[in-house]
Structure 1
Amino acid sequence: TYTEAVEIDNLIWYFSEIVKNEVQQSLGLIERGGAGGGIAAVLHQLYQAEMLTSHELVDQITHLESLIQQADLIIFGEGVNEEDQILETTTIRIAELSTKYDKPAIAICATSDKFDQFESLGVTAMFNTFIEMPESFTDFKMGIQIRHYT
């Protein structure tokens, strides 16, 4: 609500004033310090913490970019769990890197929901295993739909 937004804004201002008085640092605009990066921005400002995008973090943990550079063919999966942000971030990054290094890439997805997004990222072929996303794992409507580009 508007009242809650005003209260949050006032609390953020108050926190900023405490930091200014106690640590003698002004918390200003920080790149990627918005809604999702607020805590990271404060840690960056106060303790010089490194700020990374989710793609940079995935690359750092998995060495994904160097693996894709070495590959001849990329086959990757898109999971069933729609709330899995890490998997989504990784599959998008795989698609981007496959295009960057001109590698053929095949996406195996639960549904065709991401086909358009993968197509726009240059994925060579896409397959899905479910015609419709099941409500439960006992309610599968199996089938395969194929989208392929040469």
Structure 2
Amino acid sequence: IIEMASACGLPLIDSSRRNPMKTTTYGVGEMVADALKSGCREFIIGIGGSATNDAGIGMLKALGARFLDSGNGELEPVGENLIKVHQIDISQLNPALKESHFTIACDVSNPFFGKEGAAYVYAPQKGANSLQVIELDNGLRHYAQVIKEYTNMDISQLPGAGAAGGMGGGLLPFLNAELQSGIEVILKTLRFEEVVRQADLILTGEGKLDRQTGMGKALDGILRVGEKCQVPVIALGGAVEATEALNRMGFTAVLPIQPFPVTLEEAMQPEFTKENIERTVRQVVRIIKQFTK
């Protein structure tokens, strides 16, 4: 089991230095190569929370792939070079990959490119400005076409292909891999539905509640189980946007946990967050008890 963000996650780089034009998934490939060397052949890769937008070419390079420009020069595997990829050479790809299977656990359903794709939706939080977002999106469009020419696989509108800066779709043509909902993998492992059927209320949450919450992420999976079992779901967030849209998705209520305006750094302090969650849950329970006496 490999967590992508442990090699190229947002927390690993200071916010002032984040730049998805320059960051790479190469380290994830190093982790896979090490696991292959140790004899592993069945992989689950959790993708998400990355600081990258390189469509997985960094990981593939670490495993032996080469990405060449129109002059046969080898490209550095970073987001800004996707637009320059002219040839893909997988002749030296690690041979152990042919014996391996990859489950790519992904928590969003975004396509590879476009207004709902990897660059437009996620690159800004990785440090991209508006011009870089356009450049990255153009790079993803171009690279998707190159992939189609070389592998005959069209990943452009595949749900989840835009996850983790295009990692979701970028690996499928070159590995024995399948995309699966990360939350579904987890909920199945936990036998979550069996637990929910015995519950009266689900309290869940994430750092920021917004329109992305309903794009196949963890809370979306939890909400679907709650609806199936007819158990109400209340979501708590460090920040809340698009409240009405979230209510229409099916959440009984969405509530912020912050007691007063705070900086992002303060909001992410574990003890402060724990206190805020506990206080908010206590208030929710007090309301419920008042109306169920």
TM-score by length of 1: 0.55
1:75 aligns with 2:148: no
AA aligned opposite 1:103: V
Distance 1:34 1:119, change over 3 A: same
Mean Cα displacement is larger for which, 66-75 or 97-106? Answer: 66-75
Mean Cα displacement is larger for which, 58-67 or 101-110? Answer: 58-67
Mean Cα displacement is larger for which, 70-79 or 38-47? Answer: 38-47
Aligned length: 133
In structure 2, the residue matched to 1:36 is 163
AA aligned opposite 2:266: F
| 1:8, distance to aligned residue in structure 2 (A) | 2.0
In structure 1, the residue matched to 2:82 is 8
AA aligned opposite 2:250: G
Match of 1:26 among 135, 146, 151: 151
Deviation digits for residues 18-38 of structure 1 (CA, Å, limit 9, x no counterpart): 349x99x72421434744375
Distance 1:49 1:112, change over 3 A: closer
Provide the secondary structure at the position in 1 that maps to 2:87. helix
Measured in 2, the distance between the counterparts of 1:43 and 1:126 equals: 35
Measured in 2, the distance between the counterparts of 1:137 and 1:116 equals: 27
Distance 1:10 1:128, change over 3 A: closer
Structure 1 unaligned residues grouped into runs of 5+ = none
Structure 2 unaligned residues grouped into runs of 5+ = 1-20, 22-77, 99-149, 288-293
Percent of matched pairs sharing the same residue: 20
1:106 aligns with 2:234: yes
1:123-134 alignment runs, 5 A limit: 123-130=251-258, 132-134=260-262
| 1:133, distance to aligned residue in structure 2 (A) | 4.1
Measured in 1, the distance between the counterparts of 2:188 and 2:160 equals: 20
In structure 2, the residue matched to 1:97 is 225
In structure 2, the residue matched to 1:137 is 266
Question: Does the 8 Å CA contact 2:161/2:167 hold for their aligned counterparts?
Answer: no
AA aligned opposite 1:14: Q
Structure with the bigger RCO (C-alpha within 8 Å, sep 6+) is 2
AA aligned opposite 1:50: E
Measured in 1, the distance between the counterparts of 2:243 and 2:231 equals: 18
Measured in 1, the distance between the counterparts of 2:152 and 2:248 equals: 38
1:32-71 alignment runs, 5 A limit: 32=159, 34-36=161-163, 38-41=166-169, 43-71=171-199
| 1:124, distance to aligned residue in structure 2 (A) | 1.9
Measured in 2, the distance between the counterparts of 1:91 and 1:126 equals: 11
Measured in 2, the distance between the counterparts of 1:110 and 1:7 equals: 35
AA aligned opposite 2:82: I
Question: Does the 8 Å CA contact 1:68/1:101 hold for their aligned counterparts?
Answer: yes
Question: Does the 8 Å CA contact 1:55/1:89 hold for their aligned counterparts?
Answer: yes
Distance 1:121 1:96, change over 3 A: farther
Question: Does the 8 Å CA contact 2:162/2:169 hold for their aligned counterparts?
Answer: no
Mean Cα displacement is larger for which, 36-45 or 68-77? Answer: 36-45
Measured in 2, the distance between the counterparts of 1:14 and 1:89 equals: 34
